[in-house]
Structure 1
């Protein structure tokens, strides 16, 4: 599966970092020692495919070299880390807006233990953090990230950054498909969030992650996934990077990206990689929807029928047996792109 994922990524120049570049977004993935060339290291050490604390240190930081990408005004990070015991990790980002660097914006403290939390109240003249998304007031073309590791054994295996231009997030609407993935449906167990009375109605994200993990042979219950992705400041389980971090903590290679079209999504499902996708809709906009409206909902794209319509495991269905749905292609794609800019979780082995 890892080789399949790598084949879906393009090498970005001589730096060698794996990237996916589309007209409206770029996802940069750092997971090898060469990707951290030029980084400032304090109390951490590099390995072939990881960053860990140096022996005898309780905490340490890695500050990346500046990264240059196409103009963006939104950024969503993601990470795969191991945090034994009370270990934790924080990812911060700053952007060069004009000639000046912004402040460092924090995406909170992640840990496999309880207490993980994003940070509220980060808003200034340059932009703001909305739980899991940095939104800038002006476009930038450069950013840096700062990774802080705490606790013995804490190790980072992957850092990813999805940058995007909000004004162009629906530019790929209706992109022509090569139809190679039409008629291919990946087997992903169906799980409903609605069968859990104590908060399940808002568990779409961990339920989607639980389904994909089950397809990968990692069987965690929906309540387990909800507990493991709970964000104390957000007071919920919908934090995007916290969800992929949970999958990463279980040995998966998981990250957040933004795709430009269903034609691009077909490259993943056609290669056996289901995607958790985020969309919202008003009454009547999504024919056959499990719920009438949603201001933001995650479901699992498992493939396409022979006519090219997306087939999904929608956790808002009332039972596990009714989770599988087929939605009209044009309507679904418009809602996905206009709501979240094609935001997707990629979770593989």
Structure 2
């Protein structure tokens, strides 16, 4: 759950403890619905036309295809980008510690990617290894549909650990046409028709001078989207009955733990959800990694996830790409942030054994059985009942045993996929438009690859 409504369609998640919404909503309203296409295998299952474009750089050829200054591509079972011969040395003053240090660096700039869906929003995600003494910076530069360009926006300064720099998003970035809101680049006024037509990404890899250490970036991607404004979405037809055996963890049993990482409880839905799926895929933390956690705390791995997804600028654990990057620090896992267009797409993933972490916001009365309302919350979708209802591991539960929930399909798909809603005061505010995190193996099976490709994610 999160702190406040941003001035954007984007709903920021899990920032600080927010009181559950209990008051009523304003009158129902119907918004424009997305055009639909027909599933050739089952014409009765209409699905929305795609409003999302994903581009990922993951292969040896990809890394050799960009513009490198001081970096180089490495081959192998998991190709990546590393520092080769540093391009130079630069000072960085960490705004969260006040410390200034010199760092050797190398850069890599992607080719221009023309978005198949001219985008109102763009989210960048990455998978990397950053051993002690290293960190990375991720930037994006877009070209608008009017022919002008954005500046280079910093989307993150990131390290898996926190001993060298404090991982951080960067506030106060805008050119009067677009603005960076924590982890999302958004057009300021999408009603004008202005969109991002293309973009480039830039990586800067850093290491301490005099060492041979290097970050390794395995995956870099950008998701551009233009989800239409809508209060309701078309109803989907159930097509799957399956439940995945995903561990269950409650965020609420951590209430009051580690104020320096946003105090546990309601603020930890994102890392708690991440840890569930990481462990589903076999990711485990060692006793040594967990030694810093108070031994009296249950499920110390959830505390660890909170610490290592924490964004020191945002002051919370709900930075979407930071969670995906954390998942990818576990052996043989990848993580991406994307948007899906329907429950049919989510069923495609579940059928292949891939659970998803979804973002939604709703009033208490809009989701039967939840018992709360929220301005933004993460859940882990683990399956569907025979009637098509959604089976979710909802971390906003009093205990681990209470985490498994079944939510009505029609209610759930609407609170997840809409982009507009009424809050408790009757004010029109943003919805999340189908945002989700997907974590999956570095070498997915044929069925998993097919499912990911079907929802627009390159493997």
Does the pair score TM above 0.5? Answer: yes
Describe the shift of the 1:170–1:303 C-alpha distance in structure 2 as closer, same or farther (beyond 3 A): farther
How much does 1:39 deviate? 1.6
Matched, 1:111 2:159: yes
2:222 to 161, 178, 183: 161
- Residue 58 of structure 2 is matched in structure 1 by 31
How much does 1:55 deviate? 4.3
Describe the shift of the 1:172–1:164 C-alpha distance in structure 2 as closer, same or farther (beyond 3 A): farther
Matched, 1:275 2:353: no
1:188 to 221, 231, 246: 246
The answer on whether the counterparts of 2:52 and 2:227 sit within 8 Å (CA) in structure 1 is no
The answer on whether the counterparts of 1:74 and 1:134 sit within 8 Å (CA) in structure 2 is yes
How much does 1:173 deviate? 3.4
Aligned pairs for 1:1-349 (under 5 A) are: 23-36=50-63, 38-48=65-75, 49-55=79-85, 58-69=104-115, 70-97=117-144, 98-114=146-162, 115-137=166-188, 138-151=194-207, 152-167=213-228, 173-177=234-238, 179=239, 182-198=240-256, 199-200=263-264, 201-220=266-285, 221-251=301-331, 252-289=333-370, 291-338=371-418, 339-349=431-441
How much does 1:197 deviate? 2.3
Farther-moved stretch of structure 1 (152-161 vs 228-237): 152-161
The answer on whether the counterparts of 2:64 and 2:73 sit within 8 Å (CA) in structure 1 is no
How much does 1:65 deviate? 1.0
Structure 2 CA distance, aligned partners of 1:24 and 1:275?
A: 19
How much does 1:168 deviate? 5.7
Describe the shift of the 1:172–1:207 C-alpha distance in structure 2 as closer, same or farther (beyond 3 A): same
- Residue 7 of structure 1 is matched in structure 2 by none
Structure 1 CA distance, aligned partners of 2:437 and 2:71?
A: 28
Describe the shift of the 1:270–1:109 C-alpha distance in structure 2 as closer, same or farther (beyond 3 A): same
Alignment RMSD (CA, Å): 1.8
Structure 1 CA distance, aligned partners of 2:334 and 2:318?
A: 19
The answer on whether the counterparts of 2:243 and 2:391 sit within 8 Å (CA) in structure 1 is yes
Structure 1 CA distance, aligned partners of 2:373 and 2:362?
A: 5
- Using the size of structure 2 for normalisation, the TM-score is 0.68
How much does 1:328 deviate? 0.6
Runs of 4+ deviating beyond 6 Å? 169-172
- Using the size of structure 1 for normalisation, the TM-score is 0.89
Describe the shift of the 1:28–1:60 C-alpha distance in structure 2 as closer, same or farther (beyond 3 A): same
User: Which one has a bigger Cα radius of gyration?
Assistant: 2
How much does 1:23 deviate? 1.7
Q: Secondary structure at the match of 2:364?
A: coil
Structure 2 CA distance, aligned partners of 1:170 and 1:256?
A: 23
Structure 2 CA distance, aligned partners of 1:196 and 1:314?
A: 15
Describe the shift of the 1:230–1:145 C-alpha distance in structure 2 as closer, same or farther (beyond 3 A): same
The answer on whether the counterparts of 1:189 and 1:215 sit within 8 Å (CA) in structure 2 is yes
Describe the shift of the 1:89–1:172 C-alpha distance in structure 2 as closer, same or farther (beyond 3 A): farther
The answer on whether the counterparts of 1:191 and 1:319 sit within 8 Å (CA) in structure 2 is yes
How much does 1:171 deviate? 8.8
Instruction: Name the structure, 1 or 2, with higher relative contact order (CA <8 Å, separation 6+).
Output: 2
Structure 2 CA distance, aligned partners of 1:166 and 1:225?
A: 30
